[in-house]
Structure 1
Amino acid sequence: MQINVNKVAMGQAPSQNVELKMYGGSLSVTGNSSINITAINSTNQNVTLVDRQMRSIESVVGETIIAYEGTGVWARYPNGNTIIVSKPLISNQSKMLVIPVVAIGGTSSIGGSGMSRVTAKGIPNIDFYKNMRNISVRINSTYSNGWENYFINVKGWSPCDPDECTAKLEMENIDVYIINIQLDTEVE
């Protein structure tokens, strides 16, 4: 599912349909996760680049949750631990930082066994910020400790707290591209 939904998020397709086999449990568009990105610009002003709700597409089987959130896939277990199933599409190379910000819209849900379909539609827009420094990404999510593990393992980012992940990239003269998309999502 992630590959197909990310095609829409990155502007490679205007919409995608994904069929999933369900073995009990539920599949839903849900949550209230959010992302806030700030940085210092070339005139030493602290500016907010993004402050918006993300949400997630969650598949629950038993007490385990698999979720698509922020272009990544996360697994949350009954003990509260969250692991990365597939990394988000955040890229930091050659003084250029690209962060896709996916806001998932919709409220649909389905349960039981059999085939289900996830439909995602949207057109991304890109916001560009030149010569930024001290990037701060704050993620408030059920999967915060998964996000923490992601940022710990990405070169240049500081680790964050598990309750509300705030990771920092202390670089100078970095160009930041924010790919914003509102995904109209339906589960049936």
Structure 2
Amino acid sequence: MEREESRGDDIIRFHYNREERMKRLSSEIKYGTRKGGILKGNRSLIILLLDVLLIIIIYVIINFFTGAERTPVVDGYSFSFRGFLFEEEANLSLKITRVEDFESTENELTDDNLVEVVFSAEGKNIEQRIVELLPERKGETRIVRGKLNIQTSDILIYADISFNNRNLRLSTTIKPE
């Protein structure tokens, strides 16, 4: 690279030629050294992906052990039973959802359209009996609510369900809120 310097008036001037300088550089310096692969060259991306993976694993483990709501399906209906204690009463709800669409007598009130629910507490001589219509269309939901005066927590509550000559028993443990 030629240097053009000029002196005069006590000022030194230097001429810089970029093209000549770039010709003399090696390719590693010109373009930088690149590690192979997208992950090897980007450490923060690896950390981010590991964080996301860890969050997903923790979420799956928590859902597995806490138990996502398991709903049994019988004759095209799914059932979900929950309860909580409030002022010495167990407030109960049974959610019935129609998951299959099949022929029914929608306008006629027959025993096939009715569900009988009996809420009872283990070890106590109390129960509540409720008769309700089953959901008529696919995706429709009915909620049957009941109350039992139990005055204690950590007690097992049953929902005995009778419909279409079928019987089903669900249970839940009442814990104080």
* TM-score bin (small chain): under 0.3
Q: TM-score, normalised by structure 1?
A: 0.21
Query: What TM-score results when the alignment is normalised by the length of structure 2?
Result: 0.22
Larger RCO, structure (CA 8 Å, separation 6 or more): 1
**Greater share of helix:** 2
* Greater percentage in strand: 1
Structure whose alpha-carbon radius of gyration is higher: 2
